[in-house]
Amino acid sequence: MAHKFQFFVLFFFCIFILKAQTSKQIIPGEIWNDNTGTHINAHGGGVLYHKGVYYWYGEHKIAGKIGNTAQVGVGCYSSRDLYKWKNEGIALKVDETNPESDIAKGCILERPKVIYNTKTKKFVMWFHLELKDKGYDAARSGVAFSDSPTGPFVFLQSFRPNTGFWPENVQPFHKKPVADWVKPHYCGGKGCLPAHVDSVNILGRDFKGGQMARDMNLFVDDDGTAYHIYSSEENSTTHISKLTDDYLSYSGQYFRVFPGRYMEGATLFKRKGKYYFIASDCTGWAPNAARSAVAEEIFGEWTELGNPAEGKDSELTFHSQSTFVLKVEGKKDSYIFLGDRWTPDNPIDGRYIWLPIKFENDAPKLYWQDHWSL
Ligand code: GAL
């Protein structure tokens, strides 16, 4: 009898230890439950650290292909340790009543990111917006703000960047007359434009109506200046745009970087005074080999460092696409790559591939881990 009792005590002790251990682990690609026992629903997301709490914002998807359009809005989760996440509900809701709204239910609202403005004390959200039933033609940026990190966020405006402004590194040919056959269209990646994308001068085409902005990220520098980083010119070229001091609009100052390199899923972070960039190639929902780059100044010169992923499945970035790089607060030299493993047939089932970033000769490297902890 005593033996049996000891066995049960040991058994439950082991279960307890196992549970405690798994809750202190990051397990890329598995179901990640929130505090209600539901798979976290925050795709294409980003994380804001504010007053000891991490806030994870992302696309709230629903089941079935319709889930690739925004039926609900932007979800928010909070955590103090990056392991346990509390569902904070929908931070920005799509407009269910006004079909004319820019963010009408059924629009495409992707890759939301939130930053905090210390001057205005507002939380500011930017996202890639495509108007309802217009495919990926609008290529706009959406902006919303809130007094609280968990929302509700108020939708402010959507627009195309830098209407009537040339980038700092504009070239003379950009200002020449533009062939009007270069119509906006989206083909889910590259291949729809000539290899030498500058030959069709999309920058010039969009000068008057505003530059295109699709996959995007935000970055706040040490001096509080915020930047919007996005795939522009039919996804062929990345733009880095300085925002206004209130973070609600464009300042008009911007640079073209990686021309003709078709990067998506751009992320930008700073380490030891240098700027780093991790992004993907441009193949729609299908994974591809990631890219990385480094620069001394945010607007460049950027030097490409190749695919940061190493080992098995590195050519597919471990079946994921970058969405954010998170600096872990209070931990020296600790950065996490946040990626999405998309499931476009049933987007709600999409998984999260979070991996620690290692630096080898100051170049970021990603190695697969079945599970890991900070
Ligand atoms: C991906 C992009 C996603 C989404 C998708 C649509 O390349 O990163 O955010 O826009 O294409 O096909």
Q: From the CA of 7, how far away is ligand 1's center (Å)? A: 52
Q: From the CA of 5, how far away is ligand 1's center (Å)? A: 56
Q: From first to last of its 374 residues, what are the pLDDT tens digits of the chain? A: 455 656 555 555 444 444 544 579 999 999 999 999 999 999 999 999 999 999 999 999 999 999 999 999 999 999 999 999 999 999 999 999 999 999 999 999 999 999 999 999 999 999 999 999 999 999 999 999 999 999 999 999 999 999 999 999 999 989 987 765 555 444 555 656 655 555 678 999 899 999 999 999 999 999 999 999 999 999 999 999 999 999 999 999 999 999 989 999 999 999 999 999 999 999 999 999 999 999 999 999 999 999 999 999 999 999 999 999 999 999 999 999 999 999 999 999 999 999 999 999 999 999 999 999 99
Inter-residue contact 262 to 202 (CB < 8 Å): no
Q: From the CA of 49, how far away is ligand 1's center (Å)? A: 26
Q: Mind giving me the DSSP string for 122-138?
A: EEEEEEEEE-TTSTT-S
Contacts of 154 (CB under 8 A, 6+ apart): 144, 145, 146
Q: Give residue ranges with CB within 6 A of ligand 1.
A: 44, 110-111, 188, 215, 264-265, 284-285, 321
Q: Which of 263, 267, 285 to mutate to test the pocket of ligand 1 (most atoms within 8 A of CB)?
A: 285
pLDDT at 177: 77
pTM: 0.92
Atom of ligand 1 nearest to the CA of 283: 7
Instruction: Say how far apart CA 300 and CA 273 lie, in whole Å.
Output: 13
Beta-bridge mates of residue 21: none
Inter-residue contact 272 to 256 (CB < 8 Å): no
CB < 8 Å & 24+ apart, contacts of 221-226: 221/270, 221/298, 222/270, 224/118, 224/119, 226/115, 226/117
Beta-bridge mates of residue 154: 145
CA-proximal residue: ligand 1, atom 1 (nearest): 284
Q: From the CA of 12, how far away is ligand 1's center (Å)? A: 45
Please give the structure tokens belonging to residue 128: 């890639």
Q: From the CA of 285, how far away is ligand 1's center (Å)? A: 5
- The DSSP secondary-structure symbol of 80 reads S
Q: Mind giving me the DSSP string for 284-353?
A: TTS----EEEEESSTT--EEE----EESTTGGGTTT-EEEEEEEPTTSTT-EEEEEEE--TTSGGG-EEE
- The DSSP secondary-structure symbol of 166 reads -
Find where tokens 């630096």 sit: 359
Please give the structure tokens belonging to residue 355: 């991996």
CATH of domain 38-367: 2.115.10.20
pLDDT at 188: 52
DSSP 3-state assignment of 199? Answer: helix
pLDDT at 200: 73
